[in-house]
Amino acid sequence: MNETVPMKPEEIVSKTYCPLPFNHLYVHPTNMASVCCAFQKGAEKRGGLPNIKDYKNLGDHLNHPFIQDIQQKMLKGEKVDGCATCYYAEEHGYQSMREKEIETWHIETFRDFTPPDLENPKLEFLEMTFGNYCNLACRTCHSDLSHSWIDDEAELTRRGVIGNPLIETFDCETPAPLKVTVEIFEPLDGKWDVSKFEMKNNIGKWIDCGIVAIVGQNVTSNGLSNHSVGSEVRVTLTDNTKVGRMNIEKEWHPDDFKDLQYIKITGGEPMLHPDFPKFMAQLEQQNVYCFIFTNASWVPKKRIFDMLKDFKFLQVFLSVDGTGEVQEYMRHNAKWDTTEKSVRKWMEWSVTMPNVQIAWAPTWSLMNASYFVEICNWWLGLTKELLRDKNWNLVKTNFIYGPSIYQMSLLPSDTKENLKSKALEYIEELKNGDIRMSELIIEMTEAYIKFFDKNSPKQDEDLAGYHKITETLDEMRGQSLKKMIPLTYKAMYEIEKK
């Protein structure tokens, strides 16, 4: 008798195959159709993915030529430009979203797996957002997802701390001491501002030469005092278009949801959005599995529970990254007392509902890594007190690798070694204890230990970026890393900068 050997994700269909372009649509907070939340937005723009208002019904998405091209590439095992985030994760030892989706859609049911039906694609999985309304401005987020970031982002851009710079390069046409003038390709009267003019010196280092004039498309600098014809010049442009408050606009039709099996609802903060009730009312909840994410910064009332109670199955993911001031610092505008009340209320409700499960969805970064044990114990304490026999078996762990300035690997070596040994002791303590379901926390702790060593390929640049953005945001938000998260301050300033 042949022993069945489970297939590895990459052996299913092809090495680049992912279920999402065959069954899924991500409704991006800008109202644009998107392949998935990880797909690169520039590639979608170039591929012509439309505003979702342009689809007669949402299922049309799977017949869009750009999506069909992705499907063909994946079936042939070719790489897809916009999937770089997943390829990066796989090359660097992280589990990619592609691998997670293969697990969700195929591994458990692999015996029934059939190649995707390209003639009759079905929109079975929708990720829904309602725009960028969010009451928080978490350190790791941005204005596309949270309108509370808009002003801070504008200020950080004005101060030159962030921006998606575009770099144009030239050869210098004038020798020193003449000024250097270059003609910029991108229009300077609208979208782009010139933020830097640099020249490469004779040892290959880029030197900021300053800007003396901008006239029309021409930017002039004094250049290096000894520059010569042919020296390299680069000009950095930053996007000055401002993101505003965005709402999803579409007249929904029952056909939009006819094949729907799974809906994931993400943010912004979806349940606080005024369009949430109307949208929820039109879903045939009893046929659908729902995964919904909340920042737990508000306490849910019966009205919200009533809108969610009829799903075939509902998982509520609580994005809580710390206790007390750790949470308040990382998830700006959050108040810890309210967060804790919110978590309790969700748990108490789930105990009364056989179809509802509460999951903890922390995101680990260098900001909260030093508080890992304390935060896990808070969660375990609550589950013991409130969930008792309820099967709450879900912890959805995220380890930050983007924005790369917050990766745990940037902590100094001494700190990392110290935290790893504390984590090992913690695993032993949990193994020898009698806390129900602690194996999930053990699993997370094992992953946490491994993530310290996933080194950033641009360590120095990331560290400099971390310090710059932390100091500027602290000043702008009236927060203090030193007072609010002292262990992280110690690691990143007293040890790292020593």
Q: Smaller CB distance to ligand SF4: residue 137 or 387?
A: 137
Reading the block at residue 92, the tokens are 């660097």
Check residue 156 for interaction with ligand SF4 (CB under 6 A).
no
Check residue 101 for interaction with ligand SF4 (CB under 6 A).
yes
| Closest approach of ligand SF4 to the CB of residue 145, in Å | 4
Check residue 368 for interaction with ligand SF4 (CB under 6 A).
no
Cα torsion for 47, 52, 57, 58, to the nearest 10°?
70
Kindly report the backbone phi and psi dihedral angles of residue 208, in degrees, each rounded to the nearest multiple of 5, phi listed first: -75, 120
Interacting residues of 33 by C-beta distance below 8 A, sequence separation 6+: 25, 26, 27, 44, 49, 50, 51, 52, 55, 61, 64
Check residue 419 for interaction with ligand SF4 (CB under 6 A).
no
Task: Show the site string, 275-314: x = touches ligand SF4 by CB under 6 A, - = not.
Answer: --------------------x-------------------
> What region, left, alpha or beta, does residue 19 occupy, with left being phi > 0 and alpha being psi -120 to 50 degrees?
alpha
Q: Which of 67, 141, 243, 366 touches ligand SF4 (CB under 6 A)?
A: 141
DSSP β-ladder status, 313-318 and 289-294: parallel
Check residue 326 for interaction with ligand SF4 (CB under 6 A).
no
Check residue 143 for interaction with ligand SF4 (CB under 6 A).
no
| Closest approach of ligand SF4 to the CB of residue 132, in Å | 8
Q: Smaller CB distance to ligand SF4: residue 153 or 198?
A: 153
Q: Which of 268, 270, 322, 465 touches ligand SF4 (CB under 6 A)?
A: 268
Tell me which residues in 429-488 interact with ligand SF4 (CB under 6 A).
none
What is the CA 355 to chain-centroid distance, rounded? 28
Neighbouring CB atoms inside 10 A of 317's CB total 21
Check residue 265 for interaction with ligand SF4 (CB under 6 A).
no
- Burial annotation 42-69 (CB, 10 A radius, 16+ → b, else e): ebbeebebeebeebeebbbbbebebbee
Q: Which of 13, 138, 246, 248 touches ligand SF4 (CB under 6 A)?
A: 138
Check residue 269 for interaction with ligand SF4 (CB under 6 A).
yes
Check residue 146 for interaction with ligand SF4 (CB under 6 A).
yes
| Closest approach of ligand SF4 to the CB of residue 82, in Å | 6
- By residue count, the chain amounts to 498
Q: What are the strands of the beta sheet with 125-128, ordered from one edge?
A: 33-34, 24-27, 125-128, 262-265, 289-294, 313-318, 356-360
Q: Which residues bind ligand SF4 (CB under 6 A)?
A: 18, 20-21, 35-36, 38-39, 83, 85-86, 97-98, 101, 134, 136-138, 141, 145-146, 267-269, 295, 331
